[in-house]
Amino acid sequence: MLNNKKEEALKLLSEGMNRHSSIAASFRKELLKILVKYDVDLPIVKKKFKLNVEFFKFFDSNISKSDNLDSNIEQKYYKNFNRLKKFNLIHKQSSTFAKSLSLISINPNQISLLSSKFSNTFKFIKNYEEIKNKILLNNDLSIYYVYIYLRLFSYSTLSKFELSKIIINNILLLEKDFCVQYFDKDIYFSIYNNKAYKLHVYDRFISSFFYMQHEKLSENEYLFSDIIKFEKFFLQYKKEKFGKIGINQIKYMNRNYYIFTNSSIKTTVYSKILATKELSISELNVLYPNKISKKFIELEKQIIEKLFKVSKVDRDEIDTIVIGANNESDISSFTIHDIDTLMIFLREKGNQVKKSSINNIIKELQLYYAIDQNLHTQMICDYITYLLLLTKEGKLRPSSVRGYLYILNKYLFKQIENLNNIEESEVQNIEKILSSDNYKLSYLKKIRRLINSFFKYNEKNGIEINISGTHYDKSMIFNLELNFILDEIEKSYRDRMRYKMDNKVKKFVVGKNDKYRILQEKILVLFGYYFGMRKNEARSRLICDMYFNNNYIYIDVNNEGLKKIKLKLKTSSSTRRIGVKIENKKHLELIKKWYNDREEILKKISFKKNKYNQYLLLDSNEKGSFLQTIIKEDTFNHINEIIKKVTERYCTYHSLRHSFATNQMAEIFSKIDENPYDALEFSVSMGHETPEITLSSYTHAQIIYILLHLNLEKGIQ
């Protein structure tokens, strides 16, 4: 029996949802049913439900999932809950529904990733072994079977379009069983100009084949010169071996096979089920010095210089927010389905449309944007208005507008959560969709042309398209470079001090306080590399946040130190404890020495407040005396310059966090008894809500593949 307060809130919610067609009918029905079923008292403020995390967990476990493998179901509910908040149908302080409560891509329960017919997977395994044997015969048909292998059987499969673009001279043979393919930018969708290429890492088996056949293959420019002939051979093979089973279903069997032989996490990252950080030429050049063509290295150097001039910041690098600022997510849940007059127009046929109907659509678009003043909404509304005005002027047929909006809605609007601030992983997901086997080349070109025209139109109208990751994946910093960075910090400090003294002295004498300041900058670098802390997290740690226990060092990341400078962590997930065992004795001794010196300084400075509330890293005045205040943010500017100078890659202080994530994930992968839950636990120490963020935003999976899967002697650590 419902109490009056809950019954009234349910009624108002139901009436409110019915007024908004963009809130899916199935969602309305599901939500009301579960709210009635939920027997824990939910806060009701001003006749509105204040939904909390516990309710969302209950909702997720009780929704009617017709297909347990539907990975988009959480995304569907995520958007609908956002609409409830936007339309003021639930209390504004309600928690946000997690974008992916059950993360299928790295689900520890491997059975959930298997197709219903186990016999299909065993059929795949049988054909996989046969195709390898046919390739090893090294006859005239071997190259045809390589084509089939790369289409269906390799760890990370390639599409027909990608295979048609493989140039022999762009296959980088780095050693007998390891090679990489350099692909030019024209093979993938791009919103921006900075990204010039992508690298595909071949598995050990195909790498060995290329190595053995290199001289013979180099007679041709393209590996698969007559793509129509190769594709015909492939289709005949597929029909003979798999019957009516589609290519996508065979690729699903591929995933199942690799899950049988590896863990679900390895399969997720190596086969790019989840997009991870791309391998760069400059990173490859560190691992294989003097083996990469100079033309590729020079090309990337030019791009890197442009990136440093633009100097945009990664979204995750912004790790704190100002206390008191409105930190609610500025997400527009707008979809074209929200505009009723537009939907009527899109469902019509033919090219006879009244000008008054077009005027009504434009008017509704303007009214909607007046309510939802979000750049995401503005970009879509303005572009649709632009197309409709062309139709009104007789420059574009209504049927063409319908076709354009169908394509844009399916391949862009539905794929990007915020068009003005696009995640790199979202771009990669669009690339993944467009590189599948379901499209003719002419249609593929049309999709790409329309998407790029949408962004060009908005850029022309003064809207800057901001893509997370600065349009180019940041490089990680390798262990072998860390000591060079630490040495350069000391050299740079001496040079700065000499310059400050107008070069009046030939030799600068380093005093005790100078030595401590040099050591403090080195510790900042080690904090990033070994603890994965963002810059504001590192500089705001208090003495009481760090402690030693046997061979382990622990650091607590919390809001206490940040409060003193009127900042706080970006999300509740950022609050965490990081514990590490540092094997490098030199680095461990540096940290211990610094910590002991810090305690000595603590005794000498006269503190007004409790000494255990003071910062670990201290600022100093012009005379060189240490203060009770936090180390300045400017410190990171010259650390960034040093990192750039040493690595000669697209690296900043934040790259140390990439190193931390990749090193730790490599350690997880190297365990014989590797457990998928290890990734879940590690994402907590990164300060992330889900492992998906850790994997997609920070993990350089191809580097792990190179160093671990191929058993190279060069270790990350």
Q: What is the pLDDT of residues 304-316, one digit of tens each?
A: 887 777 655 666 6
Task: Verify that 151 and 235 share a domain, yes or no.
Answer: yes
Nearest-Å Rg of the Cα atoms of the chain is 29
Q: Evaluate if residue 321 carries a pLDDT over 60.
A: yes
* Burial class of residue 566 (count of CB atoms within 10 Å of its CB; 0-12, 13-18, 19+): exposed
In whole angstroms, give the CA distance from residue 464 to residue 460: 9
Q: Is 315 among the domain residues?
A: no
In whole angstroms, give the CA distance from residue 270 to residue 277: 11
Task: Verify that 130 and 169 share a domain, yes or no.
Answer: yes
Dump pLDDT digits (tens) for 151-196. 999 988 998 888 999 999 999 999 888 999 998 877 766 665 556 6
Contact 474, 314 (CB under 8 A): yes
Task: Verify that 159 and 80 share a domain, yes or no.
Answer: no
Q: Average pLDDT in the 453-475 region?
A: 75
Alpha-carbon distances of 29 from 34, 84, 481, rounded to whole Å:
9, 14, 57
What size, in residues, is the chain? 717
In whole angstroms, give the CA distance from residue 135 to residue 13: 63
Q: Is 449 among the domain residues?
A: yes
Strand 552-557 with 197-201, pairing: unpaired
Task: Verify that 209 and 347 share a domain, yes or no.
Answer: no
Q: Evaluate if residue 352 carries a pLDDT over 70.
A: yes
Which of 20-34, 457-471, 626-640, 699-713 shows the lowest mean pLDDT across its residues?
457-471
In whole angstroms, give the CA distance from residue 558 to residue 692: 23
Domain count, the chain: 4
Q: Which two tokens stand for residue 534?
A: 């963002």
Q: Is 606 among the domain residues?
A: yes
Q: Average pLDDT in the 576-601 region?
A: 92
Q: Evaluate if residue 228 carries a pLDDT over 60.
A: yes
User: What per-residue confidence (pLDDT) applies to 664?
Assistant: 93
CATH of the domain at 622: 1.10.443.10
Query: Which pLDDT band, with edges at 50, 70 and 90, does 327 fall under?
Result: very low
Q: Evaluate if residue 319 carries a pLDDT over 70.
A: yes
Alpha-carbon distances of 642 from 304, 495, 513, 657, rounded to whole Å:
15, 13, 21, 16
Task: Verify that 444 and 496 share a domain, yes or no.
Answer: no
Least Cα distance to 686 among 514, 586, 539, 570 occurs for 570
Task: Verify that 303 and 361 share a domain, yes or no.
Answer: no
User: What per-residue confidence (pLDDT) applies to 248?
Assistant: 80
In whole angstroms, give the CA distance from residue 260 to residue 103: 19
Q: Is 671 among the domain residues?
A: yes
Task: Verify that 81 and 209 share a domain, yes or no.
Answer: no
Q: Is 602 among the domain residues?
A: yes
In whole angstroms, give the CA distance from residue 158 to residue 148: 10
Q: Evaluate if residue 505 carries a pLDDT over 60.
A: no
Higher per-residue confidence, 226 vs 603: 226
Question: Residue 222's beta-bridge partner residues?
Answer: 167
What is the residue range of 452's domain? 336-467
Region of 423 (left: φ > 0; alpha: ψ -120 to 50; beta: rest) is beta
Q: Average pLDDT in the 135-139 region?
A: 93
Q: E strands along 209-263, which residues?
A: none
Q: Average pLDDT in the 563-582 region?
A: 88
From 54, 81, 102, the end of a domain falls on: 102
Q: Is 714 among the domain residues?
A: no
Task: Verify that 231 and 206 share a domain, yes or no.
Answer: yes
φ and ψ at residue 687, rounded to 5 degrees: 85, 30
- Spell out the alpha helix ranges (H) of 435-566: 441-460, 479-500, 512-531, 535-539, 560-563
Least Cα distance to 202 among 167, 177, 183, 223 occurs for 177
Contact 543, 611 (CB under 8 A): yes
Task: Verify that 570 and 446 share a domain, yes or no.
Answer: no
Which of 40-49, 107-116, 520-529, 691-700 shows the lowest mean pLDDT across its residues?
107-116
User: In the block, which residue shows the tokens 């298997």?
Assistant: 114
Is the entire prediction scored with pTM above 0.85?
A: no
Task: Verify that 609 and 533 share a domain, yes or no.
Answer: yes
Contact 286, 707 (CB under 8 A): no
Measured from the Cβ of residue 341, the count of other Cβ atoms closer than 10 Å reads 16
Least Cα distance to 482 among 429, 530, 432 occurs for 530
From 440, 467, 494, the end of a domain falls on: 467
Q: Average pLDDT in the 77-84 region?
A: 82
Higher per-residue confidence, 572 vs 19: 19
Task: Verify that 608 and 662 share a domain, yes or no.
Answer: yes
Q: Evaluate if residue 614 carries a pLDDT over 50.
A: yes
Which of 94-108, 178-192, 376-390, 675-689 shows the lowest mean pLDDT across its residues?
94-108
In whole angstroms, give the CA distance from residue 274 to residue 698: 12
Could you tell me how far CA 351 lies from the centroid of its own chain? 42
Which of 273-277, 431-435, 635-639 shows the lowest mean pLDDT across its residues?
431-435
Q: Evaluate if residue 407 carries a pLDDT over 70.
A: yes
From 102, 131, 165, the end of a domain falls on: 102
Q: Is 705 among the domain residues?
A: no
Q: Which two tokens stand for residue 571?
A: 């999300």
Helix (H, G, I), strand (E, B) or coil at 251: helix
Strand 421-422 with 466-467, pairing: parallel
Q: Is 532 among the domain residues?
A: yes
